[in-house]
A and B are shown apart, each in its own frame.
Chain A
Amino acid sequence: MLNKINAIGENCPIPVINAKNALKDMEVNQTLCILVDNLIATENLSKLAGELGYAYFVDRIDENQYEVRIIKSSILFKNSKTHENSIVVISSDVMGEGDKELGKALLKGFIYALAELENLPRIIIFYNSGAYITTEKSQSLDDLKLLFEKGVEILTCGACLNFYDLTDKLVVGEVTNMYSIAEKLSKAEKVIKP
């Protein structure tokens, strides 16, 4: 569920206090989206999220519009760097070329290590046979849930889920489409492909 606050035209402390109150009433893992019209307000909202130990992302929509998303994560972590605009792309259910079993074990190890990083990626996108990793029989579900709770967006390609007949078996994160994947990848500062 997405909770929205439109704080365009409001000066601090109003956006910050409204966000604080909204977060109080929200369930764990819900996202609060706050629209503000100045950069300083995004910085104050970032301080709020940082102090509460929640993950946050800041997007500049245009000169007078910024979107801050705060995820009420269940695991408190201070000063994580999820807002750095880096994306991890998992395009296969194995890591590297060669033995398939080794490739699966490597990918599981990679996602485990990712969850332990101090500087988390902002988004992980799964497509093609990568779609297996976010669904029922995956061995990485616990690590992915941890990443999600730490505020990392987990997105799986809908067409791919459909192709492998996994549509109703998705466990972590949300379904996305190629338009959104293309847009996110083109905006990313860094794309990591294991």
Chain B
Amino acid sequence: MLIGYESSDDASVYKLTDDIAIVNTLDFFSPIVEEPYLFGKIAAANALSDVYAMGGEVKTALNIVSFPEKLNPEILKEILRGGAEKVQEAGGVLSGGHSVNDESIKYGLSVTGIVHPNKILANNGCKVGDKVILTKPLGVGIVMSAKRMNVVDLEEYNEAVYLMQALNKYAAEKMLKYDVSACTDVTGFGFLGHLYEMVSKNQTIVVDSKNVPFIKGSYEHAKEFYITGLGQKNRNFLKGKVMFESKDFAMEEILFDPQTSGGLLIAVSERHADTLLQDLNELDIKSKIVAEVIKSKGYDIIVK
């Protein structure tokens, strides 16, 4: 076992041979959008993401389903169709799964991937001097929260959905060509929560909040308090670990906002940072250099 319980990685990695290790991960959750097909895509993209964050490639996947018998089976069909499309896009094979009759809908995947044992990207391991790149804008949780209260415009909502269903595959493929020291994906713990997983003792990660991308409109919604319980839990968890140099409530909320199927956080050596960024920005979802790793200044994370 190369990576298991003891680290804060979301997947386990088991070495089979000198050249191949298997990556196992699973994730499933309740619908966060009303359209079953889109929910299927988002849940699958989210579950597949952990393999990419490890530097691996997807091989097989199994469906995990809970679904109320009394609902129209067409809904389930649509969810599974969305999920299957994403597995196919990932280059994996979907080979069945398991479903249970339950009061609420839940869907996700158990995913198996492979990675070269020497090329595993753990989420901690970044080096002083590294730059940190974020590959998707933040604010998905806030936009979905505003959507619940019917104050979101269609453009923002569509952007959030588009970001959530987008695979981290393309960004991951590009990052593997460079001197990358650590990688994780941004999900429930939010940008700062997952950044905190990356930082080691004797290091501080300095975030340049002006460079952090977020969905247009999410800043205004945060200002109007369309905030979640999870975001506050993230804030509580990081108490004393993060120092904000200036007070910007809405930006803080965005940085604590839980993401579904968020982007990758990639720690890359300074000399490769700009070229990796250029390469990533050939994709339609734009990346940004958002932070750098320095020698410890007392706090784990400082937000400028």
Contact = CB atoms under 8 A, between A and B. Distances in A.
Contacts of B148: 13-14
B232 A12 contact: yes
B233 A40 contact: yes
The residue in A14, A17, A41, A43 that gathers the most chain B C-beta atoms within 10 A of its C-beta is A17
Contacts of A16: 225, 227
Interface in A32-57: 38, 40-41, 43-44, 47-48, 51
Given A13-B148, A13-B149, A47 B236 contact: no
A13 B227 contact: yes
B224 interface: yes
Contact of A47 (B145, B224, B227): B227
Contacts of B249: 47, 51
A16 B145 CA distance: 12
A10 to B, nearest CB: 11
The residue in A11, A38, A48 that gathers the most chain B C-beta atoms within 10 A of its C-beta is A11
Contacts of B233: 40
A51 B224 CA distance: 10
A13 B227 CA distance: 5
Contacts of B229: 11-12, 38, 40-41, 44
How many B residues touch the partner, as a band? 10 to 19
Interface in B142-156: 145-146, 148-149
Interface in B47-85: none
Interface string B210-226: 00000000000000111
A20 interface: yes
B228 interface: yes
Interface SS of B by simple majority:
helix
B227 A44 contact: yes
A51 B249 CA distance: 8
A17 B232 contact: no
Contacts of B224: 17, 20
Nearest to A52: B225
Contacts of B146: 13
Given A40-B233, A43-B232, A14 B149 contact: yes
A13 B249 CA distance: 16
Contacts of B232: 12, 40, 43-44, 47
Interface in B115-145: 145
Contacts of B149: 13-14, 17
Interface in B193-245: 224-229, 232-233, 235-236
A12 B225 CA distance: 9
A146 B112 CA distance: 65
Contacts of A11: 229
A80 B224 CA distance: 21
B226 A17 contact: yes
Contact of B225 (A38, A40, A43, A48): A48
Interface of A: 11-14, 16-17, 20, 38, 40-41, 43-44, 47-48, 51
9 contacts: A11-B229, A12-B227, A12-B229, A13-B145, A13-B149, A13-B226, A17-B225, A40-B229, A48-B225
